Amino acid sequence: MFQIRVHGRGGQGVVTATEMLSVAAFEEGRHAQAFPSFGSERTGAPVVAFCRLDDKEIRLREPIMEPDALIIQDPTLLHQIDVFSGLKPDGYVLLNSAHSFEQIGLGELVKQRGHSKMSTLPATELGLKHVGRPIPNVPLIAGFAALSGMFKLESVIKAINEKFSGKVAEGNIAAATEAYELVKQQMEDRAHA
Amino acid sequence: MLKQIEGSKAVAEAIALCRPEVICAYPISPQTHIVEALGEMVKSEELAPCEFINVESEFAAMSVAIGSSAAGARSYTATASQGLLFMVEAVYNAAGLGLPIVMTVANRAIGAPINIWNDHSDSLSQRDSGWMQLFAETNQEAVDLHIQAFKLAEELSMPIMVCMDGFILTHAFERVDIPTQEQVDGYLPPFDPRQSLDPKEPISIGAMVGPEAFMEVKYLAHAKQMQALELIPQLAAEFKQQFGRDSGGLVRTYRADDAETMIVAMGSVLGTVKDTVDELREQGHKIGVLGIISYRPFPLQEVRAALVNCKRFVVLEKSLAVGMGGIVATDVRMAVSGTGLKGFTAIAGLGGRNITKASLHKLFLEAEQEKLEPVTFLDLDWDVVNKQLEREKQNRHSGPIAENILYDKGMSTSAAKFG
Amino acid sequence: MANKPFAITLKPGTSLANLTGSWRSARPVYLNRLPPCNNACPAGENIQGWLFHAESGDYEQAWRVLVRDNPLPAVMGRVCYHPCETSCNRGQLDEAVGINSVERFLGDEANKRGWKFDAPAAATGKKVLVVGAGPSGLSAAYHLARMGHQVEIQEAGPLAGGMMRFGIPKYRLPREVLDAEVQRILDLGVTLKLNTKVEHIEQSMKDGGFDAAFLAVGAHIGKRAMIPAGDAAHIVDAVSVLRSMEGEDKPMLGRKVVVYGGGNTAIDVARSVKRMGGEPIIVYRRTRDRAPAHDFEIEEALQEGVLIKWLSTIKQAEVGEITVEKMELDEKGFPQPTGEFEKLEADSVVLALGQDVDLSLLEGVSGLEIKDGTVQVAPNMMTGHDGIFAGGDMVPSERTVTVGVGHGKKAARNIDAWLRDITYAPEPKHEIATFDKLNPWYYSDADKTVRPMLDMIRRQTSFDEVQGGLDETNALFEARRCLSCGNCFECDNCYGVCPDNAVIKLGPGKGFEFNYDYCKGCGICEAECPCGSIKMVPEDI
Amino acid sequence: MSFQPVKFYQTGTYTVGNRLLGPDERSVQSGELRSNSINSGHRACQGCGEALGARYAIDAAMAESNNQLIAVNATGCLEVFSTPYPESSWQLPWIHSLFGNAAAVATGVAAALKVKGKTEVRVVAQGGDGGTTDIGFGCLSGMFERNDDVLYICYDNEAYMNTGVQRSSATPPTARTATTMPVGKEPGNVFGQGKNVPEIAMAHGIPYVATATVADLRDLEYKVRKAMKMHGARYIHIFVPCPLGWGSASHDTIKLARLAKETGTFPVFEAEHGEVTSVLKIRKKQPIEEYLKPQKRFAHLFGKHAHPEMVEHLQAIADRNIRKYGLLDEEKAHG
Predicted confidence band of residue A41 (pLDDT cuts 50, 70, 90): low
Provide the number of CB pairs (under 8 Å) joining chain A to chain B.
Answer: 84
A39·B417 Cβ contact <8 A: yes
Nearest to B139 by CA among B25, B29, B2, B46: B2
User: Which one-letter amino acid corresponds to residue B23?
Assistant: I
Q: How far apart are the first and last CA of chain D?
A: 48
Within an 8 Å CB–CB cutoff, is residue B87 touching chain D? no
C441·D83 Cβ contact <8 A: no
User: Which one-letter amino acid corresponds to residue A42?
Assistant: R
A→B interface, C-beta within 8 Å:
18-19, 22-23, 25-27, 31-40, 45-46, 48, 58-63, 65, 81, 85
Measured CA to CA, the distance from residue C514 to residue C501 in angstroms comes to: 9
Alpha-carbon distances, residue B334 vs B124, B288, C353, D161 (angstroms): 17, 20, 117, 45
Q: Please list every residue in chain C whose beta carbon sits closer than 8 Å to the beta carbon of residue B220.
A: 5-6
Residue D69, classed as helix, strand or coil, is: strand
pLDDT (tens digit, 9 = 90+) per residue, A42-71? 788 889 999 999 999 999 999 999 999 999
Predicted confidence band of residue A190 (pLDDT cuts 50, 70, 90): confident
Within an 8 Å CB–CB cutoff, is residue B199 touching chain C? no
B59·D109 Cβ contact <8 A: no
Of residues B332 and A191, the one with the higher pLDDT is: B332
Q: Please list every residue in chain B whose beta carbon sits closer than 8 Å to the beta carbon of residue D115.
A: 21-22, 49-51, 68, 73
C75: pLDDT strictly greater than 50:
yes
Residues of the domain holding A67: 2-192
Cα C423-C424-C429 angle, rounded to 5 deg: 135
pLDDT (tens digit, 9 = 90+) per residue, C155-185? 999 999 999 998 898 999 999 999 999 999 9
Q: Which of residues 211-270 of C touch B (CB under 8 A)?
A: none
Q: Which residue of D has its CA nearest to B66?
A: D105
Q: Which of B29, B165, B419 sits opposite A63 (nearest CB)?
A: B419
Q: Which of A34, A40, A62 sits opposite B172 (nearest CB)?
A: A34
Question: Is B90 exposed, middle or buried (CB count within 10 Å of its CB: 0-12, 13-18, 19+)?
Answer: buried
Measured CA to CA, the distance from residue B185 to residue B189 in angstroms comes to: 6
pLDDT (tens digit, 9 = 90+) per residue, D149-191? 999 999 999 999 999 999 999 999 999 999 999 999 899 999 9
Nearest to D212 by CA among D203, D204, D221: D221
Q: Which of B195, B214, B220 sits opposite C9 (nearest CB)?
A: B195
C12·B97 Cβ contact <8 A: no
C7·B213 Cβ contact <8 A: yes
Verify that C227 and C155 share a domain, yes or no.
no
pLDDT (tens digit, 9 = 90+) per residue, A139-148? 999 999 999 9
- Residue ranges of domains in chain D: 34-334
D111·B67 Cβ contact <8 A: yes
C5·B216 Cβ contact <8 A: no
Verify that C227 and C350 share a domain, yes or no.
yes
Indicate the CATH number of B253-377 among 3.40.50.920, 3.40.50.1370, 6.10.140.120, 3.30.1330.40.
3.40.50.920
- Any residues with CB less than 8 A from the CB of C59 and at least 6 apart, and which? C53, C105, C106, C109, C472, C475, D1
Per-residue pLDDT of chain B (419 residues; tens, 9 = 90+): 999 999 999 999 999 999 999 999 899 989 999 999 999 999 999 999 999 999 999 999 999 999 999 999 999 999 999 999 999 999 999 999 999 999 999 999 999 999 999 999 999 999 999 999 999 999 999 999 999 999 999 999 999 999 999 999 999 999 999 999 999 999 999 999 999 999 999 999 999 999 999 999 999 999 999 999 999 999 999 999 999 999 999 999 999 999 999 999 999 999 999 999 999 999 999 999 999 999 999 999 999 999 999 999 999 999 999 999 999 999 999 999 999 999 999 999 999 999 999 999 999 999 999 999 999 999 999 999 999 999 988 887 766 777 777 777 765 444 444 43
Domain D34-334 has CATH 3.40.50.970: yes
B171 to chain A, closest Cα gap in Å:
6
ipTM of the complex: 0.89
Computed from CA positions of residues B351, B355, B359, B361, in that sequence, does the dihedral angle turn out positive or negative? positive
Q: Which of B117, B175, B271 sits opposite A61 (nearest CB)?
A: B271
Q: Please list every residue in chain B whose beta carbon sits closer than 8 Å to the beta carbon of residue A65.
A: 356, 419
Verify that C199 and C229 share a domain, yes or no.
no
A123 to chain B, closest Cα gap in Å:
24
C233: pLDDT strictly greater than 90:
no
D151-173 in b/e burial notation, b at 16+ Cβ within 10 A? bbbbbbbbbbbbeebbbbbbbbb
A40 to chain B, closest Cα gap in Å:
8
Q: Please list every residue in chain B whose beta carbon sits closer than 8 Å to the beta carbon of residue C12.
A: 202-204
Domain B2-243 has CATH 3.40.50.150: no
Verify that C248 and C317 share a domain, yes or no.
yes
Which among C16, C97, C476, C492 is the top mutation candidate for probing chain D, defined by the most D β-carbons within 10 Å of its own β-carbon? C492
Of residues C457 and C109, the one with the higher pLDDT is: C109
**How many domains is chain A built from?**
1
Verify that C362 and C350 share a domain, yes or no.
no
Q: Which of residues 81-140 of D touch C (CB under 8 A)?
A: 82-83, 85-92, 94
Q: Which residue of B has its CA nearest to D76?
A: B208
Within an 8 Å CB–CB cutoff, is residue C3 touching chain B? yes
Beta partners for residue C282, in sequence order: C259, C308
Q: Which residue of B has its CA nearest to A24?
A: B4
Which among D82, D98, D121 is the top mutation candidate for probing chain B, defined by the most B β-carbons within 10 Å of its own β-carbon? D98
For the CA atoms of C3, C6, C11, C14, what is the dihedral angle to 10 degrees? 150
Residues of the domain holding C290: 223-354
- Any residues with CB less than 8 A from the CB of A185 and at least 6 apart, and which? none
Within an 8 Å CB–CB cutoff, is residue B60 touching chain D? yes
Predicted confidence band of residue D6 (pLDDT cuts 50, 70, 90): very low
User: Which one-letter amino acid corresponds to residue D226?
Assistant: K
- DSSP track, B265-315: E-TTHHHHHHHHHHHHHHTT--EEEEEE-EEES--HHHHHHHHTTSSEEEE
Q: Which residue of C has its CA nearest to D34?
A: C496
* Pairing relationship of beta strands A31-36 and A118-121 according to DSSP bridges: unpaired
Q: Do chains B and C touch (3 or more CB pairs under 8 A)?
A: yes
Verify that C227 and C337 share a domain, yes or no.
yes
Q: Please list every residue in chain A whose beta carbon sits closer than 8 Å to the beta carbon of residue B354.
A: 62-63
Where do you find CATH 3.40.50.920 in chain B?
253-377
| Domain of residue A89, CATH code | 3.40.920.10
Measured CA to CA, the distance from residue C133 to residue C181 in angstroms comes to: 12
Within 13 A of C90's CA, how many CA atoms are on the CB side?
A: 26
Q: Which of C354, C384, C406 is the last residue of a domain?
A: C354
Verify that C195 and C246 share a domain, yes or no.
no
* Phi-psi label, residue C379: left if phi above 0, alpha if psi -120 to 50, beta otherwise: alpha
Q: Please list every residue in chain B whose beta carbon sits closer than 8 Å to the beta carbon of residue C3.
A: 194-195
> What number of other Cβ atoms are within 10 A of residue B17's Cβ?
23
pLDDT (tens digit, 9 = 90+) per residue, A6-22? 999 988 899 999 999 99
| Domain of residue C530, CATH code | 3.30.70.20
Nearest to C523 by CA among D249, D314, B3: D249
Q: Please list every residue in chain C whose beta carbon sits closer than 8 Å to the beta carbon of residue D48.
A: 499, 522
What is the rounded average pLDDT of the residues C406-425?
A: 95
Verify that C184 and C295 share a domain, yes or no.
no
Within an 8 Å CB–CB cutoff, is residue B161 touching chain A? no
Q: Which of residues 196-235 of B touch D (CB under 8 A)?
A: 197-199, 201-210, 212-213
**How many domains is chain C built from?**
3
Q: Which residue of C has its CA nearest to B224?
A: C5
Q: Which of C300, C329, C354 is the last residue of a domain?
A: C354
Measured CA to CA, the distance from residue C528 to residue C536 in angstroms comes to: 12
Tell me phi and psi for residue C496, to 5 degrees.
-80, -45
B116·A39 Cβ contact <8 A: yes
Measured CA to CA, the distance from residue B159 to residue B139 in angstroms comes to: 21
Q: Please list every residue in chain C whose beta carbon sits closer than 8 Å to the beta carbon of residue D46.
A: 23, 520-522
D7: pLDDT strictly greater than 60:
no
Q: Please list every residue in chain D whose beta carbon sits closer than 8 Å to the beta carbon of residue C482.
A: 10
Q: Please list every residue in chain B whose beta carbon sits closer than 8 Å to the beta carbon of residue C9.
A: 195, 203-207
Nearest to A37 by CA among A55, A57, A60, A14: A14
D108·B64 Cβ contact <8 A: yes
What is the rounded average pLDDT of the residues A115-144?
A: 94
A26 to chain B, closest Cα gap in Å:
6
Within an 8 Å CB–CB cutoff, is residue B171 touching chain A? yes
Which among B1, B2, B4, B353 is the top mutation candidate for probing chain A, defined by the most A β-carbons within 10 Å of its own β-carbon? B4
A185 to chain B, closest Cα gap in Å:
31
D97·B67 Cβ contact <8 A: yes
pLDDT score recorded for residue B416? 41
pLDDT (tens digit, 9 = 90+) per residue, C444-497? 877 777 777 888 888 887 778 888 888 877 788 888 888 999 999 888 999 999
Q: Which of C303, C319, C354 is the last residue of a domain?
A: C354
